[in-house]
């Protein structure tokens, strides 16, 4: 094989790996709930427009870390957050930061679908309205429609927008919550076990949705399903007892992880 062919083969085998900007960055993040320390000096970069999965056994700190990213822990009195978290290089715990605006930029979808007891339309329109994102009814209609379309729910609900959001099936409710999160044009979407209350078909729809949303949003998902983490994410971070054990490309994490604790956890060997 001459040098030219070798270069050509090398190029074919290793197409340029796409570089990604860091959207959010956690540096030495610690969390205490009262006396109890829940998170120990976690350093984790969240790449832009990729799905990052946080995995680990119950109580490992993955949800705690997720909740730090849009300051949801502020709502718990005993919680104290240390270290530094940035969004586009900006410290989100800076006193000058408007938390309401932060949570519009960093949206959240919860474990159990929690639509407001209002119409489907109002569920999605609520955010843009209170944030003053639209000037008139026509614009609001447009935001509601595009958000429902992006959440892959539009075709199922377009004829009954005035019906109550709580009347939808579990999977539809969860996609409604995703539409609600998208409606305020967030940059980052946090998902805390978004499929744990859904059946396999609804789960598949949400996973498909996550894959589509990745083109425009940075997504961080906490999941107990190894297969789900392997399917939907590009990066995976493994937590254990409050420590970040290992972080890396999902493909590697699920075929050949470096840390024994990751290995034990993903192969079902945790004692």
Q: What is the dihedral of CA 53, 169, 140, 71, to 10 degrees?
A: -40
Q: Is the Cβ of residue 97 or residue 204 nearer to other proteins in the bound state?
A: 204
Q: Is the Cβ of residue 52 or residue 262 nearer to other proteins in the bound state?
A: 262
Beta-bridge mates of residue 25:
45, 86
Least distance (Å) between residue 66 CB and other proteins = 22
Rounded to 5 degrees, what are φ and ψ at 262? -65, -45
Instruction: Show Cβ contacts of residue 40 under 8 Å, excluding neighbours closer than 6 positions.
Output: 30, 242, 243
Q: Taking CB under 8 A as the rule, does residue 271 contact other proteins?
A: yes
Total binding residues toward other proteins, as defined by CB under 8 A? 16
Q: Taking CB under 8 A as the rule, does residue 270 contact other proteins?
A: yes
How far is 27 from 237, CA to CA, in rounded Å? 14
Q: Taking CB under 8 A as the rule, does residue 254 contact other proteins?
A: yes
Least distance (Å) between residue 263 CB and other proteins = 5
Q: Is the Cβ of residue 57 or residue 170 nearer to other proteins in the bound state?
A: 57
Across 118-209, the runs of DSSP E, i.e. the strands, are 188-192
Q: Taking CB under 8 A as the rule, does residue 156 contact other proteins?
A: no
Least distance (Å) between residue 268 CB and other proteins = 5
Q: Is the Cβ of residue 119 or residue 263 nearer to other proteins in the bound state?
A: 263
Query: CA 262 → CA 118, 183, 243, 246, 258, distances in Å?
Result: 43, 36, 12, 7, 8
Q: Taking CB under 8 A as the rule, does residue 54 contact other proteins?
A: no
Q: 146: how many CB neighbours lie within 10 A of its CB?
A: 15
Q: Taking CB under 8 A as the rule, does residue 185 contact other proteins?
A: no
38, 61 contact by CB (below 8 A): yes
Residues 207-236 that bind other proteins (CB under 8 A): 226-227, 230
Q: Taking CB under 8 A as the rule, does residue 268 contact other proteins?
A: yes
Least distance (Å) between residue 201 CB and other proteins = 18
Q: Taking CB under 8 A as the rule, does residue 259 contact other proteins?
A: no
Rounded to 5 degrees, what are φ and ψ at 37? -85, 125
Tokens 């493994």 sit on residue = 238
Instruction: Show Cβ contacts of residue 201 under 8 Å, excluding neighbours closer than 6 positions.
Output: 171
Q: Is the Cβ of residue 122 or residue 207 nearer to other proteins in the bound state?
A: 207
Q: Taking CB under 8 A as the rule, does residue 267 contact other proteins?
A: yes
Least distance (Å) between residue 50 CB and other proteins = 21
- Positions touching other proteins (CB under 8 A) are 226-227, 230, 254-257, 262-264, 266-271
């Amino acid at each position: 094989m001459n040098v030219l062919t070798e270069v050509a083969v090398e190029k074919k085998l290793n197409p340029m790996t796409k570089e990604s900007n860091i959207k959010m960055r956690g540096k030495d993040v610690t969390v205490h709930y009262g006396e109890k320390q829940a998170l120990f000096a976690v350093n984790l970069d969240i790449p832009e427009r990729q799905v990052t999965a946080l995995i680990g056994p119950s109580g490992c700190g993955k949800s705690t870390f997720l909740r730090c990213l849009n300051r949801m822990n502020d709502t718990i009195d005993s919680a104290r957050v240390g270290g530094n978290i940035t969004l586009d290089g900006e410290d989100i715990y800076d006193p000058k930061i408007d938390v309401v605006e932060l949570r519009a930029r960093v949206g959240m979808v919860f474990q159990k679908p929690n639509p407001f007891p209002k119409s489907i339309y109002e569920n999605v329109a609520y955010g843009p309205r209170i944030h003053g994102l639209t000037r008139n009814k026509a614009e609001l209609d447009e935001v509601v429609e595009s958000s429902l379309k992006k959440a892959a729910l539009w075709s199922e609900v377009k004829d009954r927008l005035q019906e109550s959001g709580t009347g939808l099936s579990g999977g539809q409710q969860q996609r409604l919550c995703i539409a609600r999160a998208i409606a305020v044009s967030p940059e980052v979407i946090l998902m805390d076990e978004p499929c744990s209350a859904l059946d396999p078909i609804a789960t598949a729809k949400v996973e498909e949705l996550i894959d589509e949303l990745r083109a425009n949003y940075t997504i961080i998902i906490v999941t107990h399903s190894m297969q789900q983490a392997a399917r939907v994410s590009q990066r995976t971070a493994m937590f254990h007892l409050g420590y970040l054990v290992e972080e890396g490309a999902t493909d590697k994490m699920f075929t050949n992880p470096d840390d024994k604790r990751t290995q034990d956890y993903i192969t079902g060997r945790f004692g």
